[in-house]
Chains A and B, each alone.
Chain A
Amino acid sequence: MTYRPVFISAIFLLVFAVIGTGLVAFTFDSTAERIAENQRRALLKNLNELLPSSRYDNDIFSDILMVHNSELLGTNEPVPVYRARKNGWPIAAVLAPVAPDGYNGNIRLLVAINLDGTLAGVRVIKHRETPGLGDGIEASRSDWILGFNGKSLSNPSKEGWGVKRDGGRFDQFTGATITPRAVVKAVHKALLYFKRNKQHLFERAPKIPTTP
């Protein structure tokens, strides 16, 4: 018995694996920059809706702090905090918490909180909620998410941080309570996180002026 045919087949398979991998690697290499740029631009678009670029002057993308708090930020993974500063002074922080208890799994949010603890705004960046029912949390589908603007831990009070069905101050959608409930809860927790870690969140500034 000869091993020659098997050997030839194996070589052939190897050659193909190398060619295939090479082509994929080449494509990856030539598109990586563009893909990163796309992701950056998509994120920037979201960030700019929450914080107009006139409000800060730092490079919000490199002024990132990775934080971890599974209880208040809803995920075991570290999530980024984007820090907005003007003339070196803290203006606002944009947290990226997760609402883990959506109707269809995780809802990823961007929560922009001004230095004084009021919300500059909230956006949903990723979700799998039911189209037509739960997707009203998207800013492009309804104004619901804008209802968070200006809210803080004291406005409404702790009891008010829920959907109306639970005795809170926020509307639910017809036929969908779970989704808004999850978002309200996650935003409230993000505010709590901000309050408890405010000092730490703006630390490690590249340049903080000693006198105003």
Chain B
Amino acid sequence: MNSLKNIVRDGLWTNNVGLVQVLGICPLLAVTGTFVNGLGLGLATLITLVASNVTVSMIRKLVRPEVRIPVFVLVIASIVTIIELSMSAWFYELYKVLGIFIPLIVTNCSIIGRAEAFASKNTVGRSFVDGFSMGLGFLLVLVTLGSLREIIGHGTLFSHAHLMFGDAARSMTIHFVSGYHGFLLAVLPPGAFIGLGLLIAMKNVIDKRKEARSEVVQVPGDPAVQAAH
């Protein structure tokens, strides 16, 4: 059995939804034009993942294997619809921006994937941690990609923050270069693909480095150290 620490590490890094499983990239690529859009969809997905994992885990002993998939779909669809309605009620402007990608969370394979692979076999507490870590991992990818595309594409960061945090956040926008004309490629879909590709590549490079370093550390472990003594 995995320890909680491993579950968290899995969600955030080793088995990251966006960078390793590469699931749910349709909304990931489509909405990450700005930091705020990424954060909005990331939070919605995170809440869905936690809620669906907890619910599925709670009913895992009741549900019979032959009807488990329809039940999971039902649970997820209900949760997402509730989130969509709530967003439309309390974050109407943001809801208008994220548009069809909120209902599409239902089709994000990572959610039913976690329900089937993890929550249906684990306790409520562990499923909560798993949903939260997986969701947070996905959110971090969305936010990173959103920030990169916004900085390169528009030369700003945190623009339209008032959609989420109210009018007080209008002044949060950071302009990096005044009179920046924008870099269209970063804003358009190809920019999203390139950006995600670079993020995945960067993760792989970091993993490789880490691996190499741990090997280096092991080498002086036996003969060299003993020879020195």
- Chain A positions within 8 Å of B, measured between CB atoms, are 5-6, 8-10, 12-13, 16-17, 20-21, 23-24, 27-28, 31, 34-35, 38-39, 42, 130-133
Contacts and interface: CB of A to CB of B under 8 A. Distances in A.
B64 A28 contact: no
The 6 lowest CB-CB distance pairs between A and B, nearest first, are A20-B78, A38-B92, A31-B89, A34-B89, A27-B82, A9-B67
Contact of A20 (B63, B74, B184, B188): B74
A23 B66 contact: no
A35 B89 contact: yes
A166 B88 CA distance: 41
Contacts of B62: 12
B103 to A, nearest CB: 12
Interface residues of B, number: 28
Contacts of A24: 78, 81-82, 85
B153 interface: yes
Nearest to A174: B181
Interface in B70-91: 70-71, 74-75, 77-78, 81-82, 85-86, 88-90
Given A16-B71, A38-B89, A27 B184 contact: no
At the interface, is chain B mostly helix, strand, loop or mixed? helix
B182 interface: yes
A127 to B, nearest CB: 12
Nearest to B91: A38
Nearest to B154: A132
Contacts, number: 65
Contacts of A27: 81-82, 85-86
Nearest to A21: B78
B111 to A, nearest CB: 15
Nearest to B71: A16
A133 to B, nearest CB: 7
A17 B74 contact: yes
Interface in B47-63: 62-63
A146 B70 CA distance: 52
B148 to A, nearest CB: 15
Interface of B: 33, 62-64, 66-67, 70-71, 74-75, 77-78, 81-82, 85-86, 88-90, 92-93, 96, 153-154, 182, 184, 187-188
Given A16-B71, A23-B82, 14 more contacts: A6-B66, A10-B67, A13-B71, A20-B74, A21-B78, A24-B82, A27-B86, A31-B88, A42-B92, A42-B93, A130-B188, A131-B33, A132-B154, A132-B188
Q: Which of A10, A20, A28 has the most CB of B within 10 A?
A: A20
A34 B93 CA distance: 13
A183 B17 CA distance: 41
B170 to A, nearest CB: 12
Contacts of B81: 24, 27
Contacts of B75: 16, 20
A132 B77 CA distance: 34
B68 to A, nearest CB: 10
A20 B73 CA distance: 11
A31 B77 CA distance: 18
A130 to B, nearest CB: 7
Contact of A133 (B33, B89, B153, B184): B184
B126 to A, nearest CB: 23
A12 B63 contact: yes
B156 to A, nearest CB: 12
A9 B82 contact: no
Contact of A35 (B85, B154, B187): B85
A38 B92 CA distance: 7
A31 B86 contact: yes
Contacts of A5: 64
B63 A132 contact: no
B64 A35 contact: no
Contact of A132 (B70, B71, B92, B182): B182
Nearest to B66: A9
30 contacts: A5-B64, A6-B66, A9-B64, A10-B67, A12-B62, A12-B63, A12-B71, A13-B67, A13-B71, A20-B75, A20-B77, A20-B78, A23-B78, A24-B78, A24-B81, A24-B82, A27-B85, A28-B85, A31-B85, A31-B86, A34-B89, A34-B90, A42-B92, A130-B188, A131-B33, A131-B187, A131-B188, A132-B184, A132-B187, A132-B188
